[in-house]
Amino acid sequence: MNTTNRGLNRLFILVVGVLLLAAGALAIAIAAAPALASQWKRTASDLAGSGAPSWVREPVMGQASALVIGLVVLAVVLIVLLLVFIAKQGHGRTAAALEQRNGTTVTRIDLAIPKALLEQHLEGRPELAGLRISAYEVRGTPMLKITARCSRGASPATVSSAISGAIRDLEQIVGTDVPAFVQLTGGFRTGSASRPRVA
Amino acid sequence: MTTEDRLRSRVLRRELHSPRSGLAIPLALLAIVALAWLGTEGVLAALGRPALLLTPKAMGTGIRGLPGVQPGTLIAAGTVLALIGLVLVVTAIAPGRRGRHIIGAGDSAVVVDDAVIASALVRTAATTAGVSPDRAVAHVGRRSATVRVTPVSGVPVDREAVQRDVQAAAEGFGLTPAVRTRVAIDKNGKVGG
């Protein structure tokens, strides 16, 4: 429900993976292929001697060459980008659960109202061990997130239809569609020998 | 497709798959530490101050001298790096499904954790078999579920009946993807329960 950029997460993991894979493959290749090793040695001695371009050899700032300065700048830029990347994870919660646009006016209903109504409606059901209600903004539209903890052995179909009924009632009360996402959790301790594997 | 349908399918798709934040964030933190170290060494070298661990010059010498390292060490280190890289690449590409199912059809967006399905199937199986729910365990996968019942010693359990009821219960939940059930009755019962 949150606004985490999952494509970016995967892209970042992929890039780091490919870099590590390439570094590992290079190390193995240098050890296993003598031709590559001797080529590496030749290039290295060229660079160590006078073959290196002046921007690698000559200090431009203090005692650092342009190569070192460039790497420092690159490191700083990447650090900032990575901090932004981390900070962007998991946002999207909102205080307004519903939004109704009527021409030029927009009516926003606070989360507290649907929360109270749903909790009251579902109160006292033995299938429900707990209820957590929050709201997220998905693609600009507020959406309720209802997490229901089912008690042991409860039929998910029963719980699901009870919550759907509660949402329908809520829709009647507020007079508009209530986009909602429902997650049924719990049901643990299904046996003493082994718990169901949850991947 | 209406806006609400689009919202629904987007949320369902996201809730059924892992966001990969749990891996991406620690990886980003490690990368930040490594880059900060690299940057610090560069600045220290520019100021002519002693390095923390390695001067940029020493790093360059190390990279140039790679062929001089013992081949065994190089291969071992390379293999470890490549394996970690491979795991990351696979993780980045694999779907990363969570153990959840969509429940019910129509306009609602409801998902149920596999543990809840397992718990409900155990309840059904235990009721039909006449044993305590503690004597049955269920494992729910994406398309199949297995329920294992340990009977009470000396009291036979009708496997067919349990199988029928469990399958009916699973079908009654209206799961997507649908789950095929299999019931196994332990050969050795337990006393009591």
Q: Which of B72, B93, B114 is the last residue of a domain?
A: B93
* pLDDT score at A199: 41
Residues of B in contact with A156 (CB under 8 A): 103, 112, 116-117, 120, 173
* Closest among A111, A130, A134 to A122, alpha carbons compared: A130
Beta bridge partners of A102: A105
Q: What share of chain B is helix, strand, coil (3-state, %, to 5)?
A: 55, 15, 25
Residue A1 per-residue DSSP state: -
Q: Are residues B121 and B157 in the same domain?
A: yes
* DSSP string over B64-97: HTGGGS-HHHHHHHHHHHHHHHHHHHHHHHS--B
B112–A160 CB contact, under 8 Å: yes
Shared-domain flag, residues B110 and B79: no
Tokens of B144: 């199949």
Does residue B14 lie in a domain region?
no
| pLDDT score of A158 | 92
The answer to whether residue B174 sits within a structural domain is yes
The mean pLDDT values, 10 residues at a time, for chain B of 193 residues are 82 93 96 96 90 89 86 93 97 94 83 94 93 91 95 90 96 93 90 69
Point out the residue among B24, B79, B82 whose CB comes nearest to the CB of A13.
Answer: B24
B74 plus B104 within the same structural domain = no
* B28, A8 Cβ separation under 8 angstroms: no
The answer to whether the Cβ–Cβ distance between B92 and A61 falls below 8 Å is no
B106 and B179 housed in the same domain: yes
In this structure, the answer to whether residues B181 and B104 fall within a common structural domain is yes
Contact A182 B8 (CB under 8 A): no
- Classify residue B105: in a domain, yes or no: yes
Residue in the structure block whose two tokens are 């900032």: A80
Q: Do A86 and B29 touch (CB under 8 A)?
A: yes
Q: Are residues B162 and B110 in the same domain?
A: yes
Q: Is residue B7 part of a domain?
A: no
Closest CA relative to residue A119, chosen from A147, A142, A92: A147
Which one of A1, A2, A13, A91 would you mutate to disrupt binding with B, by most B Cβ within 10 Å of its Cβ? A13
Tell whether B88 and B106 lie within a shared domain.
Answer: no
Alpha carbon B109 to its chain centroid, in Å, reads 22
Q: Are residues B104 and B180 in the same domain?
A: yes
pLDDT of residue B193: 55
Residues of chain B in contact with residue A30, where contact means CB-CB under 8 angstroms, are 66-67, 74
DSSP, collapsed to helix, strand or coil, labels residue A102 as strand
Q: List pLDDT tens digits, range A35-68.
A: 898 888 888 888 777 667 777 777 777 778 888 8
* B131 domain residue, yes or no: yes
| B chain contacts of residue A23, beta-carbon cutoff 8 Å | 78, 81-82, 85
Cα radius of gyration rounded to whole Å, chain B = 28
**CATH code for position B138:** 3.30.300
Measured in angstroms, the CA of B5 and the nearest CA of chain A are apart by 10
Give dist(CA B179, CA B141) in Å, integer. Answer: 8
Residue B10 lies in a domain: no
Residue B193, domain member (yes or no): no
Which pTM value belongs to this model? 0.86
Region of B121 on the Ramachandran plot (φ > 0 left; ψ -120 to 50 alpha; else beta): alpha
Same domain, B106 and B181: yes
Residues B74 and B111 in one domain: no
Interface pTM, i.e. ipTM: 0.87
Q: By residue range, what is the domain housing residue B124?
A: 100-185
B12 belongs to a structural domain: no
* Domain boundary residue, one of B73, B93, B113: B93
How many domains in chain B? Answer: 2
Contacts of B117 in chain A (CB under 8 A): 156, 187
Closest by Cα among B93, B141, B122, B125 to A197: B141
**Which of B93, B116, B147 is where one domain is finished?**
B93
Let me know whether B38 and B60 are in one domain: yes
Nearest to A178 by CA among A133, A131, A130, A132: A133
Provide the pLDDT for residue A22.
97
Other CB atoms within a 10 A radius of the CB of residue B62 amount to 12
B118 and B166 in a single domain? The answer is yes
Structure tokens at A37: 């090793």
The residue ranges of chain A whose pLDDT is under 50 are 190-197, 199
